[in-house]
Amino acid sequence: MQSTPQAPFRHLHALWFQITGTLCNLECVHCFISCSPTNNHLKFLEPDTVYRYLDEAIQLGVREIYFTGGEPFLHKQMLPILDRALQVAPTTVLTNGTLITPTVADALGDLQAESRYSLEIRISLDDVDETRNDAVRGKGAWRRALRAMHVLQDRGILPIVAVTEYLYDATPAAPSPGHAPGEGSGFYQKFRDFLLENGIAKPRLKMIPVFAMGQLHGTVPLASYVTPEMMQGFDTDTLQCTTTRIVADGGVYACPILVGEAGALLSTESLTNALEPCTLYHTACHTCYVTGMTCANY
């Protein structure tokens, strides 16, 4: 559609891999791609596929690499894949943390120690209260996420805790006593205090808005889209799709949110061929436009 706005492509900052497709050992009620133990809609990636795209990314001067799923640590080759990725660029794994045992943490600690680049492990947690968190993420999720944070911290990896703004209203409000500097709703400070109280010495937090997709499809009464008028005077550099691409089952997609969506598929065989403008056709594009969010760590 000629009237649908496009985002230009600037340079390759982040290359993502949806390494385990839509397979996950959890089934979170807000998952934007409805991952679950039985969702095989998007398949695992083979290591050779990852390595081929990494080689292409080197030529393009990639800045950082991300692995997501589903749950990446379901992949039997995740550790050797991480080893290879860390030879190329700083690498982040998005995980629910439930499979990060002390043995896995030992291996991750070794990878981090031997690498010039940072290995970031981003662990999802949606509430400081175990019952409320597990109502969203599944029984045992809270306890095992905290275990993962501790075993990683013990081995020199400072986890990033990713909070989806599902249970809290993140609308900025005027600061009031007891709230974190620069944040009005209080839940950033709540998480920060919780992590400090539970022995996480250097809390690192990333807040993520909710997308009305997947499990939450249809929950927003009036879907919103980016219009050509909205692009007038808008700084497109704030959109992650100007510097990010994701490799998944089927090829290379415009961004990690639209992974698997036909309208976001840019190439079936080459990263270079996917470095073209993408169309801001989805309601998720509107969420990114309004919130300025990025899937990257910063």
Partner 1 sequence: MQYQRIAVFGGIYNNHLALATAIGDARRRGAEALFCLGDLGGFGPNPNRVYPLLQENGVQVMRGNYDISLAEGLEDCGCGYTDPRDNYFAEISYNYTFQQTSDIHKRWLATLPDALRVQLGRYRLYMCHGSPRQVNEFLWESTTPDCLLEKFCKDYQTDAVLCTHTGIKWHRELPRHRHCINVGVLGRPENTGETHVWYTLLTADPVLQVDFIPVHYDYQALAQEMRQEGLPEEFVETIVSGWWTTCLEILPGKERAHGRW
- Under the rule (CB under 8 A), what is the footprint of partner 1? 11, 57-64, 88-90, 112, 116-120, 156-158, 180-183, 188, 202, 204-205, 294, 298
Nearer Cβ to partner 1 (191/253): 191
Q: Among all chains, which residue has been given the structure tokens 């009620």?
A: 29
Nearer Cβ to partner 1 (57/258): 57
Nearer Cβ to partner 1 (122/282): 122
Q: Which amino acid is at 223?
A: A
Residue 71 Cα distances to 19, 156, 206, angstroms: 8, 22, 18
Q: Are 160 and 206 in contact (CB under 8 A)?
A: yes
Nearer Cβ to partner 1 (40/59): 59
Residue of 210, 182, 198, 189 lying closest to 288 (CA atoms): 210
Nearer Cβ to partner 1 (44/188): 188
Report, in Å, the least distance between residue 53 CB and partner 1: 13
Report, in Å, the least distance between residue 182 CB and partner 1: 3
Beta bridge partners of 164: 208
Q: Which amino acid is at 93?
A: V
- Strand bridging mode 251-253 / 244-248: antiparallel
Compute the half-sphere exposure of residue 284: CA atoms within 13 Å on the CB side of its CA: 23
What crossing angle do the helices spanning 130-137 and 141-154 adopt, rounded to 10°?
Answer: 100
Nearer Cβ to partner 1 (26/207): 207
What contacts 263, CB < 8 A, 6 or more positions away? 279, 281, 282
Nearer Cβ to partner 1 (13/43): 13
Report, in Å, the least distance between residue 79 CB and partner 1: 18
Q: Which amino acid is at 217?
A: H
Residue of 75, 64, 65 lying closest to 23 (CA atoms): 75
